[in-house]
A and B are shown apart, each in its own frame.
Chain A
């Protein structure tokens, strides 16, 4: 860019800073301006709201919010680990720590805030931490290794998260809060009490109404305890200060910008500093024109948009924001919105409280019936709807809105009752009218499309449920029938068909179609979508519903996709590939030699697969039984590489050989692979077992992955490689062998029961209401009381497993199907031909596009050249 290009300097690259950059790019300002970003932290912007998820297995990379392609594509000069040190407003010049000097036309301060540490003696001792950055978390994690007890100063949102994290690290955890209740800003006394009970039940010790007077330090200079204001002393090895944050406005103070009495860079409605039109401040470091410093990300985003719009000379203003929040704290829903504390004159409360269930719901209602605000603890299901109604008179009595369904008047107040100007997504300030418009004017028919079109639901995600209801309602209203059916033959979802098959013990596809199919499909032949889906359901439940466990038996044979029908994988020229099972990837030399001999004798192309086994390509249909016979003879069985079923359980060598291994991962992988082999499921299932945290088996990219710990096994679920990679989520920790197997039994059967056709565990986990938490409730805590049944179903599968290859080669009637031609069983398919490549062979593709060979050639027919 030329020297005359105007320059925008952004100081601070947090969530709000990144959003500001995006807003610049959207307005085309990155093309017309040089943009320089000075970032103090050693990494670009990450999701600080989700910081604590680092302790549940998210890596710093997962938390990143910065697409480096974006930075690069827009020519943004991002300097991480290089904070701004001085600002010369007269010369309009910023100097960074590295010595870099940048002259600016516009300067935007997004320096965020810093944790407030009360000035108590000993606060800087070894073992004292704050909770703000990934680096803080890394330090806490390291120090916690040699600690047994931890205390958190501050019982607000972050404090509770930090205490939960300490507990997760194996420490006995205490929370010390000066106010008389937890989360004093968000909830009132009643809500705090409900929260307290639930938090204490989790094994956290809570001390409210006491202050920290001194950090007690041992002779080695490290923390040994805390003195509290009530005279008591708490022994602890580690202290985390989480007593609120303060705006980081030192840079602004140093260059003479006005700051508020309690901090914060004073700005006007355009987020411009009150002293200098060339300088803006956004996010937690800014004191907004309404006299408040906003510590939430949604108002910060709005300020970022406002500043970018102002720089682009568009009209925009930030005049204040809603402080509504909905969080899941240590598994407890907590939400507050509007005038949560009832500060308006003459307002009235409607309260529902159930201490036994840890529920507390309060609505603040104006004299005229207007909903002003509220607090929800323990169940924040209605948050999205209630918040959108705030400021208006809801169409039903307020009591009905807080009472649980079934008690009194259960009002199902859907989002369709909302006025068009109600804000549904407050992160992006999207109204219900805009969402409806996306459906009616922009032809969006799904939630992902609406998200893309309106940005709604792409912030904190708390409105996605309401979004789904709105989209469905709008589609229905405009006459589009929202058909959730599996296909043209069945109006039910796969999950519903599973329930029908299981409950009514239906073991025939035709019976299911004729009795439960769509009217017009009954008596017909079904289709290529429902046949394999129902075939899979019947196979998963075979022993329980009295069907044959052999997929080529009777009617089941006609339901299978060609791969399952031929128990091999169809390749592009009509030949098949064959993959024998090699459990855990462990194979003896003798067996390796057998595979080599078979591949050589049948002229097959061989390749090592990603699942630690060997694939043999280029087998013609009539060769398959001969190949299986040799494999079965040598002790192999089907690897089900062709099925929507368990593929492999990879492993690293583990404790047996590896100097880092802490458990026998190979044995566990073999056990798991043999237990779940042949299990038909909505999609393929992959697994892996790693012998230590180094994770050489890549278990976190699997549908269910197991990682050894010193105390047992950690179970991760919902991982995926492929086109949309997803890291698996930690489901449970430090399990014994038996606990691990039991949880996987339940998890897999719950997935098979509730997933859609061809829905991998990763998308399933993202889709099902409640996500990971719900799955954990069901399979770990048995919240639906179905775990017994899930386990029984799996036991039945394990007990009835038989090898499909062995079964087929011993059945002359089935073998007769394995021919290229029904009228010439000994003639190979002439279309299947090969040419040499790199010492092996590959399909002869030119032949395919040219067409058939001349007839005389065919009748002499050799398939191999």
Chain B
């Protein structure tokens, strides 16, 4: 059986300077895990998909260590809000706001993300 094309051909897109930048097929995103994307200006974004299918994108760089690894962290829900825990020293970041949940002075950039 062939699935309807509109569900399999969807692309993940990030909003960059008012434009939409295509990252990958939606099928590349495993619920509960992230992927990293290299942006045209050299920055890196970490893109996540939760179990309901909602997408989130934040800067991939872990501000505590400097390593570009946030896409490899474990995701979860804290008081109803989605987060990712850095795989290095385990600080958690709110996926919607970029706010670090363990240090209120730290925040990472977020990106608008959609499927098209």
Contacts and interface: CB of A to CB of B under 8 A. Distances in A.
Interface residues of A, number: 48
Given A572-B67, A574-B68, A822-B28, A521 B77 contact: yes
B5 interface: no
Contacts of B47: 822
Contact of A570 (B22, B43, B76, B88): B88
Given A822-B23, A822-B35, A852 B76 contact: no
Nearest to B68: A831
Given A525-B77, A528-B92, A558-B30, A852 B61 contact: yes
B78 interface: yes
B96 interface: no
Interface stretch (A165-173, A560-568, A588-596, A670-678): A560-568
Contact of A848 (B24, B38, B66): B66
B85 interface: yes
B36 interface: yes
Contact of A816 (B28, B43, B92): B28
B51 A510 contact: yes
Interface string B17-52: 000001110001011110111100111100100110
A854 interface: yes
A525 B23 contact: no
B112 interface: no
Contacts of A566: 72
Contact of B50 (A520, A525, A572, A852): A525
Interface string B68-82: 110011111110101
A527 B28 contact: no
Contact of B72 (A488, A555, A562): A562
Contact of B76 (A528, A821, A831): A528
Interface extent on B, as a size class? 35 or more
B42 A858 contact: yes
Given A566-B72, A821-B44, A526 B77 contact: yes
A852 B65 contact: no
Interface string A841-855: 000000111011111
Contacts of B35: 822
A823 B38 contact: yes
Interface string A424-436: 0000000000000
Contact of A831 (B33, B67, B75): B67
B57 to A, nearest CB: 12
A623 interface: no
Chain A binding surface, main DSSP class: loop
Given A524-B77, A524-B80, A531-B76, A855 B28 contact: no
Residue of B44, B68, B80 contacting most chain A CB atoms (<10 Å)? B68
Given A525-B82, A854-B42, A829 B68 contact: yes
Nearest to A827: B38
A822 B37 CA distance: 6
A91 interface: no
A531 B92 CA distance: 15
Contacts of A821: 36-38, 44
A851 B52 CA distance: 35
Given A510-B51, A558-B30, A565-B72, A823 B37 contact: yes
Contacts of A827: 38
Contacts of A851: 66
A818 to B, nearest CB: 11
A565 to B, nearest CB: 7
A566 B78 CA distance: 25
A565 B78 CA distance: 22
Given A562-B69, A574-B68, A822-B36, A528 B85 contact: yes
A824 B42 CA distance: 12
A820 B36 contact: yes
Contacts of B75: 525, 528
A859 interface: yes
A527 B78 contact: yes
B82 to A, nearest CB: 6
Given A570-B72, A821-B36, A852 B87 contact: no
B77 A848 contact: no
Q: Which of B50, B65, B80, B82 has the most CB of A within 10 A?
A: B65
A574 B67 contact: yes
A108 B23 CA distance: 81
A558 B32 contact: yes
B87 A527 contact: no
A829 B61 CA distance: 11
Given A562-B74, A831-B44, 4 more contacts: A527-B78, A570-B72, A573-B67, A858-B38
Interface of A: 488-489, 510, 520-521, 524-528, 531-532, 555, 557-559, 561-563, 565-566, 570, 572-574, 816-817, 820-824, 827, 829-832, 847-849, 851-855, 857-859
15 contacts: A524-B51, A525-B32, A525-B76, A525-B82, A527-B76, A528-B73, A532-B74, A561-B74, A566-B72, A821-B37, A822-B28, A823-B37, A827-B38, A829-B36, A849-B66
Interface of B: 22-24, 28, 30-33, 35-38, 41-44, 47, 50-51, 61, 65-69, 72-78, 80, 82, 85, 87-88, 90, 92
